[in-house]
Structure 1
Amino acid sequence: MPPTALQHADATAGVGVLKARLTGLSQEEFARDVWARTALLTRRASDFSDLFSAEAVDELTSRRGLRTPFLRVAKDGVTIPDASFTSSAGVGATIGDQLDDTALWCMFADGATLVLQALQRTWGPVADFSARLSTELGHPVQANAYVTPPQNRGFDDHYDVHDVFVLQIAGAKRWLVREPVHPDPLRDQPWTDRRSAVAEAAKGQAHIDTVLEPGDVLYLPRGWLHAAQAQGEVSIHLTLGIHTWTRYALAEQLAQSALALLRDDPQMRGTLPLGVDGPGGEIDAVRERLVAAVTKADSAPLFHRTRRAQARPAPLGPLAQLEAVDGLGPHSRVRLRGQLEARLEGPRLVTRVGWFDFPETDVPLVTRMLDGGVRTAGELGVELAERLLRAGVLVPAEQ
């Protein structure tokens, strides 16, 4: 049995997946020299057989009852309509947008690329790896797999509005990477808005022209142009999309927080003079109040709320959780559920599964729990541990 992503990281005590499996660089080195600056090719970064494989592709497409949009299909730069490869799954599963494996096979045999999307939701090893990387980087991570027949390509030259790590799983794929025509695009600035500039840049010399083989990793900041073509056999690669927070996003949240303050200003709610045909002299007064509101606004709560909404907590098994509640005693081992984005705001614990108020006497116990270590229910107090288990904040620790 191949080692898990967790075991890989454990083998390099204290070293995260960014260094141990993707780049060979420490977080500090990556942040200083690479992050959001330049493309990086790392040869033989790791063995990724524990994360994904050809067998995983067949399992997901033929036996899991996946529905769109967990898969899309593309050929020669064109995305194929979902109805071409979906159908009802028969008795007891009559939903009409489940993957039709026969249709997928025919399209794949004809040169189409299969794109398995959001694997952080559907494939356990990829989900665990993505969660670890997201924790290290401080930005949400999405995982897609691209399965391309020999000598074919799925998409034309383009750029993404998120950073990516490309992990070659099987086969080989030639990548042509070029510098941005629009550096650091925002999420509402897709490459299709600059189609002609992208097409012109694609005629120029590549910054990187290489063939990725199993174990190789390519990092691309958002905006970097790229196109890829499978070589003499089926190519499978994982793309880990890093949905980066930007200063523009922080500015949006600061503006929202300021506008919320202005709702309580009676003069700002006032009506403009009768017969007004433009902002006139009003704009200076409004600008003054807006600047003052921005100065006073605290956008941190909105930032954390938005961040919590961008991902899901770690999986929770209802049967294991019920067993933990029913068998709870002072010696029961529990831990904080992963990826909760849990924060104490005074006596209130705010998480991805809701918020919870505590008496002041319990706040030190809750604070201790937030370090993620394994605790006994007796350390936290059995009553508090039971409450948090029932809420899905604590989970049973593995024995």
Structure 2
Amino acid sequence: MSTTRTDFQDPGAIEGGGVLETRLIDIGRERFARDIWGRTALLTRGAGDFSDLFSAGAVDELVSRRGLRTPFLRVAKGGSTFPDSSFTSPAGVGATISDQLDDTALWRTFADGATLVLQALHRTWAPVADFSSSLSTELGHPVQANAYITPPQNRGFDDHYDVHDVFVLQIEGTKRWIIHEPVHTDPLRDQPWTDRRSAVAEAAKAEAYIDTVLEPGDVLYLPRGWLHAAQAQGEVSIHLTLGIHSWTRYALAEQLAQAALAALCDDPEMRRTLPLGVEGPDAELDVVRERLAAAVVEADSSPLFYRTRRGQGRPAPLGPLAQLAAVGGLGPGSVVRLRGALEARLEGLRLTTRVGWLDFPETDLPSITRLLDGEIHAAGDLGVELVGRLLRAGVLVPVEQ
């Protein structure tokens, strides 16, 4: 049987225009993809109300009631990051963990002008997690979310650039953003701004590409490499940053090279020992280049690409008790759907997902293919035994009726 691949679209990720077009930009997805994405900055005024995603109340709850630990929070002031020990402490009886957030210490630090950075909100705050997952599915690139809470008239970080694209969503208060064009276009993950500190500082003295004050509901898009600095105005500023960890051609080249090198392990000529007394590689390079080039042409890096992509995110939450109840009460009338953000792919007789892989007989393939549409299905229409297996594996989740 020939291998077939079926891409899975998370349910509800793109309905209508999707969250990109309906909540972050006002120029349309096609124009954004053609003229803006990875190319230039974009300011969108009044994109919408983001209070459903995040708020001052969310900040207080996360800091004071959720028992967060480092590195879920950073503290910065004047371009420097505070040591974790300055805002963490043991949590007391029954939770003697030394690095939980100390809300009193954070209050004093914040009152003294420091910026609080709540990191990885795509893991700790459900509305942001759902939004980030939807955006990641639409863009085809992993998304992380941080929140920056800055006291009036303060800035947390000096001019710098990021090695990922960002959408900045102003939640509360106002913040002045000063944007300059890149000194190093499209930096890779291992090319941080600190490697070009002097060039960044010099470029920041020039006339700004954008100098504006973001108000609640405004959105700013910056490709990686674009210089920026931001300062709160006359009140506390809260903004949400959605970081897009873009796939690059360089990343694909790395994976292709890995696949080619793995194939060369099976080439006896490449395993051969170099001549006795060899003084340098020159005499062997022609053979190596020839065989490496041939291996690159033949290499299939797709499995590595999808494996890496699965590892860059997590599936949608699963409730163990609800899952157990669904398995125990399973019958033909039970309704289920594919778990969200699972990155499920059917490759031949194997279903690969973020929670592992499963092999199936060919007779199950029509039902598996139907499940990959992300829609709601009755167990009786798919096969109760098959549905039970997928529920136990964490691939399917029950749907409340």
TM-score, structure 1 normalization: 0.97
Partner residue, 1:32? 34
Task: Identify which of 312, 320, 323 aligns with 2:322.
Answer: 320
Equivalence for 1:214: 216
Aligned match of 1:268: 270
Does residue 237 (structure 1) correspond to residue 239 (structure 2)? The answer is: yes
1:149 pairs with one of 151, 154, 159: 151
- Name the residue aligned to 1:77: 79
Aligned equivalent of 1:49: 51
State which drifts further: 249-258 or 317-326.
317-326
SS in 2 for 1:157: coil
Q: Tell me the SS of whatever aligns to 1:289.
A: helix
* Alignment correspondent of 2:353: 351
For residue 29 of structure 1, report the CA deviation from its aligned partner: 1.5
- Choose which of 352, 362, 365 in structure 1 pairs with 2:364: 362
What's the secondary structure of 1:268's corresponding residue?
helix
CA distance in structure 2 between the aligned counterparts of 1:223 and 1:272, rounded to whole angstroms: 43
Match of 2:129 among 127, 130, 149: 127
Tell me the secondary structure at the aligned position of residue 199 of structure 1. helix
Corresponding letter in the other structure for 1:230: A
Q: Which residue of 1 aligns with 2:170?
A: 168
- Offset of 1:15 from its aligned partner? 1.8
The one-letter code sitting in structure 2 at the alignment partner of 1:331 is G
Task: Write the deviation string for residues 119-145 of structure 1: whole angstroms up to 9, x where unpaired.
Answer: 000000000000110011000000000
Of 336, 342, 350 in structure 1, the residue corresponding to residue 344 of structure 2 is: 342
2:4 match:
none
Alignment partner, residue 120 of structure 2? 118
Q: Which letter does structure 2 place at the counterpart of 1:151?
A: Q
Q: Which amino acid aligns with 2:326?
A: A
Supply the distance in 2 between the matched residues of 1:286 and 1:325 (Cα, whole angstroms): 56
Structure 1 residue 27: deviation in Å?
2.0
CA distance in 1, matches of 2:64, 2:346: 44
What is the letter of the counterpart of residue 397 of structure 1? V
- 1:171 alignment partner AA: G
Tell me which moved more, 324-333 or 232-241: 324-333
Query: Can you give the 5+ residue segments of structure 1 that lack an aligned partner in the other structure?
Result: 1-8
Runs of 4+ more than 2 Å apart: none
1:13: how far off? 5.8
| Contact 1:18 1:24 survives alignment (8 Å) | no
Q: Report the alpha carbon displacement of residue 72 of structure 1 after superposing the two structures with TM.
A: 0.4
Mapped partners of 1:310, 1:25: distance in 2: 29
What residue identity is the alignment partner of 1:250?
A: L
Q: Deviations over 1:2-50 (max 9, x none)?
A: xxxxxxx99x961211111000233212101110010000000010000
In structure 2, C-alpha distance between the alignment counterparts of 1:159 and 1:38, rounded to whole Å: 14
Q: 1:157 offset after TM fit, Å?
A: 0.1
**1: distance between equivalents of 2:304 and 2:18?**
29
Q: What amino acid sits opposite 1:370 in the alignment?
A: L
> What secondary structure sits across from 1:305 in the alignment?
helix
Aligned to 2:99: 97
Instruction: Trace 1:13-32 onto structure 2 (pairs within 5 A).
Output: 14-32=16-34
SS in 2 for 1:114: strand
Counterparts of 2:51 and 2:400 in 1: how far apart (Å)?
25
Q: Hey, what's the Cα distance between the residues in 1 that align with 2:330 and 2:234?
A: 57
Mapped to 1, the partners of 2:203 and 2:282 lie a distance apart of: 45
Q: Distance in 2 between matches of 1:25 and 1:132?
A: 19
Q: Which amino acid aligns with 1:323?
A: A
Cα deviation code 1:144-171 (max 9, x no counterpart):
0000000000000000000000000000
Deviation at 1:397, TM superposition (A): 1.6
* TM-score (ref. length: structure 2): 0.96
Q: Do structure 1's residue 294 and structure 2's residue 296 form an aligned pair? A: yes
- 1:267 match: secondary structure: helix
Partner of 2:207: 205
Bigger RCO (CA 8 Å, 6+ sep): 2
**How many equivalent pairs are there?**
390
Gaps of 5+ in 2: 1-11
In 1, the alpha carbon distance for the partners of 2:168 and 2:253 equals 30
- After TM superposition, the structure 1 stretch with the greater mean CA deviation from structure 2, 107-116 or 20-29, is 20-29
Deviation at 1:398, TM superposition (A): 3.2
Partner Cα distance (1:280, 1:343) in 2: 44
CA deviation vs aligned residue, 1:171-191 (integer Å, no higher than 9, x gap)? 000000000000000000000
Distance (whole Å) between structure 1 residues aligned to residue 17 and residue 288 of structure 2: 52
CA distance in 2, matches of 1:26, 1:92: 52
Query: In structure 2, how many angstroms separate the alpha carbons of the residues matched to 1:98 and 1:347?
Result: 46
The CA distance in 2 between the partners of 1:295 and 1:52, in whole Å, is: 48
Kindly indicate whether the alpha-carbon contact (under 8 Å) linking 1:18 and 1:25 is maintained by their aligned counterparts in 2.
Answer: no
> C-alpha distance in 2, partners of 1:56/1:14?
29
C-alpha displacement at 1:281, in angstroms? 1.5
Instruction: Identify which of 137, 140, 145 aligns with 1:138.
Output: 140
- Within 5 Å, give how 1:380-391 maps onto structure 2: 380-391=382-393
Q: Secondary structure at the match of 1:237?
A: strand
- What residue number does 1:196 align with? 198
What is the DSSP-based 3-state SS (H/G/I as helix, E as strand, rest coil) of the residue aligned with 1:89?
coil
Distance, in Å, in 2 between the alignment partners of 1:292 and 1:126 is: 46
Query: What amino acid maps onto 2:79 in structure 1?
Result: G
Identical columns (%)? 80
